[in-house]
Amino acid sequence: MKYTPLTIALLSFVLTVSLAAAAESRPNIVFIMADDMGYGDAGCYNANSKIPTRHIDRLAREGMRFTDAHAPAALCVQTRYGLMTGRYPFRAKTTLVDYDGLTVASLLKRAGYATGCVGKWHLGFNNQGYDKPLGGGPVANGFDKYFGIPASLDIPPYYYIENDRAVAAPSETIEANNSSGWSPIQGAFWREGGVALGFRHVDVLPKFAEKSVDLVNMHAKASPEKPFFLYLALPAPHTPWMPTKKYLGKSKAGMYGDFAVQVDDVVGGVLDALDRHGLTKNTLVIFTSDNGPVWYAADVKRLGHASVGPLRGMKADAWEGGHRMPFIARWPGRIEAKSTCKETICLTDMLATFAAVTDQKLPNGDGLDSYNITPLLLGRDHKSPFREATIHQSGRRVLAVRSGKWKLIPALGSGGFSEPRKVKPKPGGPRGQLYDMEADLGETKNLWSEHPAIVKRLTSLLEGYRKAGRSVPGR
């Protein structure tokens, strides 16, 4: 069949309109996760913060701020596993090297998204030599492109990876580093180990800022009809705290605060790139953190900055400071600006949520602990509490459970950095902890002995989630 030039032009126009409509119905998704940033660091969560965070605060003004959002664990690796798989990390090895289920990236790739990851992976690689492909990493788990580092920036070896190849092997050795005036695991701290020639810790955050904007630019210019997913896994403000010269003195919270200001500017760079290319309206942007900060009571007293705000504890703890996270979502025209949500959510919920946003159904066996939170994001009717319960895992694998206003920690300590390894119960005293999170956000009054029926119910609920292998009905 022969087509006239007019027919060809009309068909081309229809195809262009169809592709544009398809792209409009599937938003770009940018998921930015800070590393070890506290609930009280951003100004939109803490009016008394000593850290200016104008770009994160902008997101809160233009979107929805969640006040009861949680990482699935209070440590880096476990949280990343929960985010990627929609499963609580206590259910499996916290690595994706041998994982064969859906990840948020493979889910979106299946929906036609271009998928890119920049930053800290920390979910394992199958390393058979630096001159060979590094298996099991981002490109084996749904990402088309990757540029980043294998783990935290204080854990050797120190080198960059592009897609599945080392940019340069960590053939040199670097000595350990720390900062006076801080604890051994704060400041410009890193461990001794292998390092690639020319690799400098201070360069990493600026390089990731550049690479993330490059990905936005590339997608905008090369394939504007195709939606994209960018997972920006920042290595900061995790140690080493190394703000570049531009940010020195920009906060009143020491080198940690200055580094957090730089993190905020990285967020701003991505937002500016979306603005420049006219992508803001049809992009769902989420900002959060993977766990709480390493910030002691002495730091609060010395600097007047409460990194976890009104919460108790810090990184690795079962107390709220270990896992209650800032979580802000912006999607202009879909998510109400300047809105707040008080429902309990978890980062494991991203898999089911992204499936719903892209009109996909999760196969049975995937997203076992993942709730679709689009009713919350879009202001639709929903039950309350939205989740039946949420599990919080400490650094020492203590599992706490939250249901409604009640939180149970089946031990007396936090299972984290804020305490000795074991806290022994006193004879006749409570064996664990129970808190009313509505009345006592700071977890100051242990109600274990006063509500035995609630202790029994939550203990049974926790054990039920363990045995069932899932917490979402029907998965």
Query: What percent of the chain is modeled with pLDDT above 70?
Result: 95
For the chain, what is the mean pLDDT?
94
Beta-bridge partners for 145: 116
> CB within 8 A of 453, min separation 6: which ones?
none
Residue 251's alpha-carbon distances to 43, 287, 304, 337, in angstroms, are 12, 21, 12, 27
Exposure class string for 137-161: b at 16+ Cβ within 10 A, else e: bbbbbbbbbbbbbbbbbbbbbbbbb
Is pLDDT above 60 for 32? Answer: yes
Is pLDDT above 80 for 428? Answer: yes
Q: Which domains does the chain have, with CATH numbers?
A: 27-377 (3.40.720.10), 390-468 (3.30.1120.10)
Q: Is the dihedral of CA 313, 65, 252, 202 positive or negative?
A: positive
Judged by average pLDDT, the poorest of 12-16, 51-55, 163-167, 217-221 is 12-16
- pTM for the model: 0.94
Exposure class string for 82-98: b at 16+ Cβ within 10 A, else e: bbbbbbbbbbeebbbee
Provide the pLDDT for residue 256.
98
Instruction: Find the mean pLDDT for residues 99-110.
Output: 96
Provide the pLDDT for residue 16.
37
- Rama region for 136: left / alpha / beta (φ>0; ψ in -120 to 50; rest): left
Instruction: Find the mean pLDDT for residues 108-123.
Output: 98
Instruction: Find the mean pLDDT for residues 157-168.
Output: 98
Q: Which residue do the tokens 């951003």 mark?
A: 42
Judged by average pLDDT, the poorest of 79-88, 286-295, 465-474 is 465-474
Give the three-state DSSP class for 62.
helix
Provide the pLDDT for residue 24.
53
* Residue 1 DSSP code: -
Q: What are phi and psi of 283, to 5 degrees?
A: -130, 125
Is pLDDT above 60 for 193? Answer: yes
Structure tokens at 327: 């979580």
Hey, which bits of 300-398 come out as E strands? 324-330, 339-341, 345-346, 390-393
pLDDT tens track for 245-287: 999 999 999 999 999 999 999 999 999 999 999 999 999 999 9
**Banded pLDDT at 348 (limits 50, 70, 90):** very high
Instruction: Find the mean pLDDT for residues 403-430.
Output: 89
Provide the pLDDT for residue 224.
83
| Greater pLDDT, 25 or 75 | 75
Is pLDDT above 50 for 11? Answer: no
Cα–Cα distance between 452 and 409 in angstroms, integer?
Answer: 13
Cα–Cα distance between 365 and 273 in angstroms, integer?
Answer: 37
CB 217 within 8 A of CB 273: yes
Judged by average pLDDT, the poorest of 14-23, 160-169, 419-428, 439-448 is 14-23
> CB within 8 A of 340, min separation 6: which ones?
64, 65, 66, 67
Instruction: Find the mean pLDDT for residues 316-327.
Output: 98
Task: Tell me which H or E stretch contains 286.
Answer: strand 283-289
Instruction: Find the mean pLDDT for residues 436-460.
Output: 98
